Amino acid sequence: MRSFAVLGVAAALGLAACQPASNDDAAFGQRVKAYLMSHPDDLHAALQRMDESDQAKADASADATAKAALPALRAALERDPRDFVANPGGKVTVTEFYDYRCPHCIAIAPRVVSLILAHPDVRFVFKEMPIFGSTSEHAARAALAAKAQGKDYVGLYAAMMAATPLTDEAIDRVAVAKGVDVAAMNAPAALAKDQTQIADVAKLATKLSINGTPGFIVGDTVIRGEDYDGLTTAIAAAEKKA
């Protein structure tokens, strides 16, 4: 496997335009190694290009899978009554899968809130997708409690994304400050209901090839990661269609 990687890097660097006349793979490998040892920046750049190419291929494959699955999953994605929806009358729907402890979700959260406030025509669906353990699940359950109890969901979303560090204690403080009844949130029936919803979101994400957070879907377009420009471009395109 290593020899294939070396040859791949050599090709990326333009060293393997033709085969050695002697067809001596060992000698060729030594020349490649000598070049790479003396040009580490070229090695780094070539490996980065290979990684980006592999990621682009993986994303394209995942996008194709999601697009094929979307028609059958549209209702679960956009119309699950258990989810909180900002601007419910909006003509264009955006769905976000996120985790409150994901650095990229945290970074884009203020822009998400600004988008919701500035664009009432954008219907925004929140999908709780805790992937960083029990504290992330605790945060998701606090948000679900805010929805169930009719409290300020978007305000809680913004406050928890801004809390550093987001500990279990900080989650409860934010929840109480936003009017959430934490005792009711922790009742066995509420816990079971929330865990079922979180599990359903995870299954939906898998079917749509949403393999990380944040993940946004606008129409048939999947925006992976902290790509605000990609998100706004997809929204603008959807608005034109609408």
Instruction: Check whether the bond before 130 is cis (ω within 30° of 0).
Output: no
Q: What is the pLDDT of residue 29?
A: 61
Residue 222 φ then ψ, to 5°:
-105, 130
Q: What is the pLDDT of residue 68?
A: 95
pLDDT tens string, the chain, 242 residues long: the values are: 444 444 454 444 444 444 444 555 566 566 666 766 777 776 667 666 766 566 566 678 889 989 999 999 999 999 999 999 999 999 999 999 999 999 999 999 999 999 999 999 999 999 999 999 999 999 999 999 999 999 999 999 999 999 999 999 999 999 999 999 999 999 999 999 999 999 999 999 999 999 999 999 999 999 999 999 999 999 999 999 98
DSSP-derived 3-state class of residue 126: strand
Structure tokens at 129: 């997708």
Residues 227 and 153 sit within 8 Å (Cβ to Cβ) = no
pLDDT given for residue 24 in this prediction:
57
Q: Which residues contact 93 (CB under 8 A, 6 or more apart)?
A: 78, 122, 123, 124, 125, 218, 219
CA distance 9 to 47: 7
Asked: is 65-241 a CATH 3.40.50.300 domain? The reply is: no
With contact defined as beta carbons under 8 Å apart, do 175 and 109 qualify?
Answer: no
- Residue-level pLDDT at 3: 43
pLDDT given for residue 50 in this prediction:
62
Q: Helix (H, G, I), strand (E, B), or coil: what is residue 98?
A: strand
| Whole-number Cα distances in Å, 140 to 155, 163, 208, 219 | 14, 14, 20, 25
Residue closest to 15 by CA, chosen among 1, 35, 37 = 35
Predicted structure pTM score: 0.78
Can you name the residues that pair with 126 across neighbouring β-strands? 96
Pairing label, strands 215-218, 221-224: antiparallel
Domain with CATH 3.40.30.10 in the chain: 65-241
Q: What is the pLDDT of residue 13?
A: 44
Instruction: Please answer whether residues 74 and 218 qualify as being in contact, where contact means their C-beta atoms are separated by less than 8 angstroms.
Output: no
pLDDT at 15: 45
